[in-house]
Amino acid sequence: MTNKIIRHVLAEFPYQTPRIERGYANQTLYVNVGTGEIKAKPVSDEMKLKFTGGKGFDLWLLWHAVHDDTKWDSPENEIVISTGPCGGITQYPGSGKSLVTTVSPTTEIITDSNAGGHFGPLLKFSGWDAIEVQGIAEKDVMVIVDAIEGKVTIEEMPDAPNDTHLLGRWLYDVLAEKPQEKYYIAMVSAGTGAEHSLLGCLNFSLYDRKRQDVRYKQAARGGPGTVLRQKHIKALVVRAQPFKGDANHPADMERIARVGADIQREIATWDSVQNRMRNRGTSYLVEIMSDYDLLPVNNFKFGSHPQARDINGAYWETRVTQGLPDGCWYGCTVACAHAVDGFELQTGPYKGHKVIVDGPEYETIGAIGSTCGIFDPDAILELNFYCDTYGIDTISYGNTISFLMECYEVGILDQEKTGGLELTFGNAAASLEILHQLARGEGLGKIAALGVRKAKTYVIEHYGADPQFVQDIGMENKGMEYSMYMGKESLAQQGGYALTNKGPQHDEAWLIFMDQVNNQIPTFEDKAEALHYFPMWRTWFGLCGFCKLPWNDVVDPKNSKSAEPAKIPHHVQNYVDIFSAVTGREVDINEIIAMSERVYNFQRVFNIRLGKGLREHDYPPYRGVGPVTEEEYESRRERYDQQLREWLGLDPDAMTLQEKMAAHRHYRTERYERLMDAVYERRGWTRNGVPTVEKLKALGIDFPEVLAVVEKKLRAED
């Protein structure tokens, strides 16, 4: 097949794959699709020590690539992808993640997003700790890292389809000379939706040997797929050599094997009686969240719905194919990467096709499902599939649609403005229609394509919407749409969402249960400590190539007797062992936290450099804090009234609804300010959220260009 396909090579860079030593290839790959320049960059010991890998490497490379005024569509913006030193380990579940960073089209600061799939590990095994792609190509190109041929190329392949599910099959057929070679191919792609939207996600492929087909996991947050397509890149591809379980050449394989055997047995013993991730993936969360009033419904107005049972974990267990080793990288027996096979599409350009739907995961079910008032599983699958193949982030898309649905219900939008669509909560057909419009760059799809923040501006400017109301209900912070947990009754989670670097994605902190359900962090100081420890701990996964789920989604019940169950100390020790055994760098939990603090603070400074990253950018919309509308208040009146009595010593019976809502708003808003103060102090930042010079020095990231950014800001504060 290879001969018949047009492959117009624009640039070629020969190389030899170095031996991977202790988790590092010790070089990164630079590709400029605009100029055709391709080169290797060495990885220094300091880079490993201070930035570890993964997101740390991404940020370090990106920092040197961009300017203070770089925008997402500037040619110098890059997509940087790296796994990390433990990425590609097969003996510990969840060790194949890739981290992507870029300047985001929606937040206009740094976004980072992680995905499973095989790209990161295979890229490293092919000799590269990271790939940074800069420039804008004239026509659509592929970047192909071919370790078998020993070269990196930029190529035009004019016959390549655009949407991911077609592109993947096509490309694997083109590149694999023998069927087994497909096992060692991985690609990163977006789709037609990403061309017409700021919400573009990246699909990271893997070859599923059992299904004999290509599967995808998404790095979706912050629009990296939009950047890929704006650069006119159809796919980044790696064609690797077959590899063995010691491809990372770790320092101490025996230690890895010991820990690996322990965790595999723990999963084998407990998953089936706990979350059943192996059977239903993260969808198990739907029911729990709805039970605790934490499942976003109708644009986060409410936290539960009777119909949530139609889309809960027990249902999905009957729907996703059972009994397959659905890990997103080898050795992950948590295996949450399930799929619905043979799903027949009912709408859109692929109507009638039978496809594999990767997922649905909890966040997707919440975003395109419950928060849009949609509880029809088939509609969720159809939306999930099209979002993926079009290269659209399900979380951002769902939030944007639910925002528009609320705008419709309150009269900001009407049928004239929606092109005849009755955009009420629950209208799945309308959501699907808008998604297809978005992929074509038409109609209401053009507004949905903007994401919540820019859609807010649009309805204010074009339809005269009340700015305060729109600001209150649009579920975004920093320009990123919220992931799927209702934070109204958890102050710590409000901070966990908005006191973040990239925006409200729970990968930094998920504190709802600790805070709201178990009341383990009652004071501001407790919450601030949790908002220090957990974001740092969680950041570390993305420096190394780890997935967080095997840390806390399957746990031997003996953990409840440990000193700090929320941290899961015996799993923390596993990670200490694995990292030390891979890299030969003996660490403990304090050093782990320090590794993350370096990268975390560096990212904060990076955002400041790009003109944001300050206190003013860390405020949540009020919908994420308390009841915006009378309807919301009335739906949970008992709770809110009781809070007025307990928290404020007020008598709700003597107050009007408006007075009660105002009292809540005042109290909750002020409480959030105090949380900010406590968290900034704990993190070593000023009241404006700027890392202090002392902090940067203590962390060893006091590079002159970093200090310069901070000092300028601190002078302005004085």
Partner 1 sequence: MKVLAYDAQKCTGARECEVTCAQTWFKVQDVAKSSIRISVKDDGFAAQFCIQCGKCIEVCPTEALYYNKQGIVLLKKDLCVGCMSCVGFCPYGVMYFAPEEALAFKCVACGQCVKACPQEALKIVELDEASTDVWNLRF
List interacting residues with ligand SF4 (CB under 6 A).
93-94, 116, 327-329, 332, 334-337, 547, 549-550
List b or e across 648-662, with b for residues whose CB sees 16 or more CB atoms inside 10 angstroms.
eebebeeeeeeebbe
Residue number with CB closer to ligand SF4 (375 or 541): 541
Q: Rule CB under 8 A: choose which of 11, 40, 253, 429 binds partner 1.
A: 253
Q: Which residues contact 261 (CB under 8 A, 6 or more apart)?
A: none
Nearest-approach distance from CB 549 to ligand SF4, in angstroms: 4
Nearest-approach distance from CB 205 to ligand SF4, in angstroms: 14
Q: Rule CB under 8 A: choose which of 57, 119, 284, 330 binds partner 1.
A: 330
HSE of 152, CA atoms in CB hemisphere, 13 A = 25
- Of 151-159, 250-258, 404-412, 493-501, the segment contacting partner 1 by CB under 8 A is 250-258
Note whether 333 binds partner 1 by CB under 8 A.
yes
The SS3 of residue 447 is: helix
Q: What are the strands of the beta sheet with 185-189, ordered from one edge?
A: 8-14, 151-156, 141-146, 233-239, 185-189, 202-208, 213-219
Two structure tokens written together for 155: 């190529």
Choose the contact partner of 474 out of ligand SF4, partner 1, none; CB within 5 to 8 A by kind: none
Q: Which residues contact 577 (CB under 8 A, 6 or more apart)?
A: 255, 256, 258, 259
Choose the contact partner of 714 out of partner 1, ligand SF4, none; CB within 5 to 8 A by kind: none
Note whether 213 binds partner 1 by CB under 8 A.
no
Q: How far apart are the first and last CA of the chain?
A: 67
Residues 85-104, one symbol each (x = binds partner 1 by CB under 8 A, - = not), give: -----xx-------------
- Residues 294 and 512: beta-carbon distance below 8 Å: yes
Note whether 21 binds partner 1 by CB under 8 A.
no
Note whether 83 binds partner 1 by CB under 8 A.
no
Choose the contact partner of 209 out of ligand SF4, partner 1, none; CB within 5 to 8 A by kind: partner 1
Choose the contact partner of 54 out of ligand SF4, partner 1, none; CB within 5 to 8 A by kind: none
Residue number with CB closer to ligand SF4 (337 or 581): 337
Choose the contact partner of 337 out of partner 1, ligand SF4, none; CB within 5 to 8 A by kind: ligand SF4
Choose the contact partner of 265 out of ligand SF4, partner 1, none; CB within 5 to 8 A by kind: partner 1
Residues 190-209, one symbol each (x = binds partner 1 by CB under 8 A, - = not), give: -------------------x
Choose the contact partner of 45 out of ligand SF4, partner 1, none; CB within 5 to 8 A by kind: none
Cα–Cα nearest to 61, from 141, 128, 115, 137 = 128
Rg of the chain (C-alpha set):
24
Distances (CA, A) of 272 to 68, 219, 403, 568: 50, 28, 37, 19
- DSSP result, 470-492: HHHHS-EETTEEP-S---TT-HH
Distances (CA, A) of 355 to 213, 222, 336, 364, 381: 10, 27, 19, 18, 11
Cα–Cα nearest to 627, from 636, 618, 615 = 636
- Residues 451 and 481: beta-carbon distance below 8 Å: yes
Choose the contact partner of 91 out of partner 1, ligand SF4, none; CB within 5 to 8 A by kind: partner 1
Choose the contact partner of 261 out of ligand SF4, partner 1, none; CB within 5 to 8 A by kind: partner 1
Phi, psi of 41 (to 5 degrees): -120, 135
- Of 100-108, 225-233, 325-333, 598-606, the segment contacting partner 1 by CB under 8 A is 325-333
Note whether 348 binds partner 1 by CB under 8 A.
no
Note whether 583 binds partner 1 by CB under 8 A.
no
Note whether 261 binds partner 1 by CB under 8 A.
yes
Choose the contact partner of 263 out of partner 1, ligand SF4, none; CB within 5 to 8 A by kind: partner 1
Q: Rule CB under 8 A: choose which of 244, 558, 561, 715 binds partner 1.
A: 244
Residue number with CB closer to ligand SF4 (54 or 620): 54
Residue number with CB closer to partner 1 (254 or 616): 254
Residues 266-285, one symbol each (x = binds partner 1 by CB under 8 A, - = not), give: -xx-----------------
3-class secondary structure per residue, 177-210? CCHHHHHHEEEEECCHHHHCCCCECEEEEEEECC
Phi, psi of 32 (to 5 degrees): -115, 110
Choose the contact partner of 94 out of partner 1, ligand SF4, none; CB within 5 to 8 A by kind: ligand SF4
The SS3 of residue 298 is: coil
Alpha carbons 191 and 236: distance in angstroms, whole number? 13
Two structure tokens written together for 466: 């009340």
- Residues 527 and 677: beta-carbon distance below 8 Å: no
* 308 alpha-carbon distance from chain centroid: 24
Residue number with CB closer to ligand SF4 (554 or 663): 554
The DSSP 8-state label assigned to residue 322 in this structure reads P
Phi, psi of 305 (to 5 degrees): -160, 140
Residue number with CB closer to partner 1 (89 or 428): 89
Choose the contact partner of 328 out of partner 1, ligand SF4, none; CB within 5 to 8 A by kind: ligand SF4
- Of 243-251, 399-407, 528-536, 664-672, the segment contacting partner 1 by CB under 8 A is 243-251
Note whether 265 binds partner 1 by CB under 8 A.
yes
Q: Which residues contact 642 (CB under 8 A, 6 or more apart)?
A: none
Determine the Cα angle at 701 with ends 700 and 707, to 5°.
125
Which residues contact partner 1 (rule: CB under 8 A)? 90-91, 183, 209-210, 242-246, 253-254, 256-257, 260-261, 263-265, 267-268, 323, 325, 327, 330-331, 333
